[in-house]
């Protein structure tokens, strides 16, 4: 067997070290998605890194009132469980949004508590990965206001959010969590958010496709490590074969 030349060894060594340094830097600057492993990891990482480098804090498009869709559409959801039916019968007066993890003051917020925080309304588009879309006006509490109220710690890197619908959970990075248009929305087109559209609470993330806008949100967890949740891929979507980042 031929011994590798010194030059080949040095080149390989420097390339490996260079790649390792690049990976460390990319991770430090938040350019690596939690589902970066696997066959489609390179493409997913390129998309996420490109969007974070080029458009970290750009605002999603907002539309004039006349562009609000007359007949919006929402994918059907599984029939609600007993818990949900009870909440619905009570008009969601006992619905709670639990906020925990890396926060100074863990909280359990009612809809009334949320409505006492600053309000934002915006007319944005919801586009589904299937190809359809609609425009509606959403009203709610900016997630940044909730994180401010509970005192999110500086080491926070992700916000994980859970639906009351069993098995549905998602997460976003701080670029989206602190983004002014990321709303914990409780109203749509001027009325209470309909159950079919995720009421009483839906986290609207308008810079990403519809599946990141989780319905029936009941809990938020602030974390610095997504490995602790599910299979460690960031959300239920990659576990079902869908990309964690859905800005495309």
Return residues touching another protein (CB under 8 A): 39-40, 42-44, 46-47, 51, 54-55, 58-61, 63, 67, 69, 71-73, 75-76, 125, 127-135, 206-209, 240-243, 247-248
String of b and e for 147-178 (b: at least 16 CB within 10 Å)?
A: bebbebeeebebbbbbbbbeebbbbbbbebbb
Closer by beta carbon to another protein, 43 or else 190 = 43
Q: What residues contact residue 116 under an 8 Å CB cut-off, 6+ apart? A: none
Closer by beta carbon to another protein, 36 or else 87 = 36
Closest separation in Å from C-beta 242 to another protein: 4
| Dist CA 194 CA 71 (whole Å) | 13
DSSP 205: -
| Dist CA 84 CA 68 (whole Å) | 29
Number of neighbouring beta carbons within 10 Å of residue 245: 26
Closer by beta carbon to another protein, 14 or else 73 = 73
Straight-line distance from the first to the last Cα atom of the chain, in angstroms, rounded to the nearest whole number: 49
Closest separation in Å from C-beta 208 to another protein: 6
Closer by beta carbon to another protein, 17 or else 248 = 248
Closest separation in Å from C-beta 156 to another protein: 21
| Dist CA 245 CA 47 (whole Å) | 8
Closest separation in Å from C-beta 181 to another protein: 9
Closer by beta carbon to another protein, 87 or else 179 = 179
- Asked if 159 and 243 count as a contact pair (C-beta separation under 8 A), the reply is no
Closest separation in Å from C-beta 139 to another protein: 19
């Amino acid at each position: 067997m031929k011994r590798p030349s010194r030059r080949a060894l040095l080149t390989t060594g420097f390339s490996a070290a260079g790649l390792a340094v690049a990976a460390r830097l990319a991770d430090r600057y938040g350019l690596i998605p939690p589902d970066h492993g696997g066959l489609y990891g390179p493409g997913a990482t390129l998309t996420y890194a490109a969007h974070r480098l080029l458009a970290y804090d750009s605002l999603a498009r907002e539309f004039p009132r006349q562009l609000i869709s007359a007949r919006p559409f929402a994918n059907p959801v599984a029939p609600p469980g007993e818990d949900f039916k009870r909440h619905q019968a009570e008009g969601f007066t006992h619905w709670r949004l639990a906020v925990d993890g890396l926060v100074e003051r863990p909280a359990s917020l009612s809809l009334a508590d949320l409505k006492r925080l600053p309000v934002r309304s915006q007319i944005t588009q919801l586009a589904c990965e299937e190809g359809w879309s609609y425009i509606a006006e959403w009203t709610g509490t900016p997630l940044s206001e909730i994180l401010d109220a509970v005192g999110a710690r500086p080491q926070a890197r992700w916000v994980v959010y859970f639906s009351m619908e069993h098995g549905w959970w998602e997460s976003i990075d701080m670029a989206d969590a602190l983004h002014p248009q990321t709303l914990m929305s409780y109203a749509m087109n001027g009325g209470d958010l309909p159950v079919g559209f995720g009421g009483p609470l839906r986290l609207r993330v308008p810079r990403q496709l519809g599946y990141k806008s989780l319905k029936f949100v009941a809990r938020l967890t602030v974390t610095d490590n997504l490995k602790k949740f599910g299979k460690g891929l960031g959300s239920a979507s990659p576990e079902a074969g869908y990309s964690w980042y859905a800005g495309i």
